[in-house]
Amino acid sequence: MALLELRNVVKDYVSDGQRVRAVDGISLAVAAGEFVAVIGRSGCGKSTLLNLAGAMDFPSSGDVFIDGQKTSGASDQQLTQLRRSKVGFVFQSFQLLHTLSAVENVELPLLLAGRPKAREHALSRLHSVHLEVLEHRFPHQLSGGQMQRVAIARALINSPKVLLADEPTGNLDTSTGSAILEILLRLTREQNTATIIVTHSAEAAEIADLVITLRDGKIAGIKRK
Ligand SMILES: Nc1ncnc2c1ncn2[C@@H]1O[C@H](COP(=O)(O)OP(=O)(O)OP(=O)(O)O)[C@@H](O)[C@H]1O
Ligand SMILES: [Mg+2]
């Protein structure tokens, strides 16, 4: 069964009285352990699609199912709960808290959820991205690639079913980006997440199980490995 499923999903935005159809009837199923790359020109709807897939927003029509749970019709509280328990997000700009050390950034979601052994779990996640020795460094004392590894460890701290990354290598040089892609692919297999990454990287498209090209909010091409 797919961990993530979109059925004929549409998303309209209205700005200045104009309707923009950012996502225009997308259907997609991502299985556990599957790594999907989404590519396409600026403005074609990639980030919008990711936000819908991660329950950050509701579709205007159609349905999104995360581990079998439908996002539309859920209350804000249910949606927040769904997001916290099932979705991990990684961003181009890392989005770490700068006053917290690496390990504190990673353990924060567990502390907020009142879960036990937060430190122990956070250290093991840092270990899985090979950063345990830098646990007490603050973000400004880390390289871009190291910051992104901290962000990946944080995204995976709640053992999410769905892992979403919006241009995770966009701020990194090619070889650092390459290492980050390898980590994302390995963790997708190890943790059995349904993973979607938005990317401009040719390498990402090469290693992905499935490459989806978007154009004007629609799927213009699908390439399976
Ligand atoms: N909150 C919003 N309000 C109005 N329009 C929006 C909003 N967010 C996105 N859009 C529009 O929806 C379309 C898709 O935007 P989206 O951010 O998904 O593109 P993208 O493929 O991620 O682009 P990029 O590669 O530049 O990040 C664009 O036309 C954009 O202007
Ligand atoms: Mg975008």
Give 59-94 as a DSSP string.
Answer: -SEEEEEETTEESTT--HHHHHHHHHHHEEEEETT-
Every domain of the chain and the residues it spans: 4-94+161-224
The ligand 1 atom nearest the CA atom of 50: 18
Residues contacting 127, CB < 8 A, separation 6+: none
Output the six-digit token pair for 189. 């297999």
* Segments in the chain forming alpha helices (H): 46-53, 76-86, 102-112, 118-128, 144-155, 174-191, 202-207
The ligand 1 atom nearest the CA atom of 200: 25
Output the six-digit token pair for 9. 């999903």
Nearest CA to ligand 1 atom 11: 22
* Predicted pLDDT at 113: 86
Rounded to the nearest 10°, the torsion over CA 56, 169, 94, 163 is 40
Pocket test for ligand 1, best of 12, 41, 47 (most atoms within 8 A of CB): 47
> What are the C-alpha distances in Å from 10 to residues 4, 95, 191, 213?
16, 28, 30, 16
Q: Are 130 and 118 in contact (CB under 8 A)?
A: no
Q: Name residue, tokens 């590519």.
A: 39
Report CA(133)–ligand 2 centroid distance (Å).
33
Report CA(217)–ligand 1 centroid distance (Å).
10
Report CA(48)–ligand 2 centroid distance (Å).
7
Residue 123: CB atoms within 10 A of its CB come to 19
- Give the whole-angstrom CA distance, residue 132 versus residue 141: 14
The ligand 1 atom nearest the CA atom of 167: 27
pLDDT per residue, tens digit, the chain (225 aa), is 799 999 999 999 998 999 999 999 999 999 999 999 999 999 999 999 999 999 999 999 999 999 999 999 899 999 999 999 999 999 999 999 999 999 999 999 999 888 999 999 999 999 999 999 999 999 999 999 999 999 999 999 999 999 999 999 999 999 999 999 999 999 999 999 999 999 999 999 899 999 999 999 999 999 998
Strand order in the sheet with 61-66: 18-31, 2-15, 61-66, 69-70
Nearest CA to ligand 1 atom 18: 45
Site residues for ligand 1, CB cut-off 6 Å: 13, 15, 20, 22, 40, 42-48
Q: Which ligand is nearest to the CA of 40?
A: 1
Nearest CA to ligand 1 atom 24: 42
3-class SS at 97?
coil
Q: Are 195 and 35 in contact (CB under 8 A)?
A: yes
The ligand 1 atom nearest the CA atom of 11: 12
The ligand 1 atom nearest the CA atom of 15: 4
> What is the CATH T-level fold of the domain 4-94+161-224, as seen in this structure?
Rossmann fold (3.40.50)
Nearest CA to ligand 1 atom 17: 47
* Predicted pLDDT at 28: 97
Residue type, 162: V
Q: Parallel, antiparallel, or unpaired: how do β-strands 69-70 and 87-91 relate?
A: unpaired
Does pTM surpass 0.85?
Answer: yes
Q: Which ligand is nearest to the CA of 43?
A: 1
- Give the whole-angstrom CA distance, residue 144 versus residue 150: 10
Output the six-digit token pair for 42. 């600026």
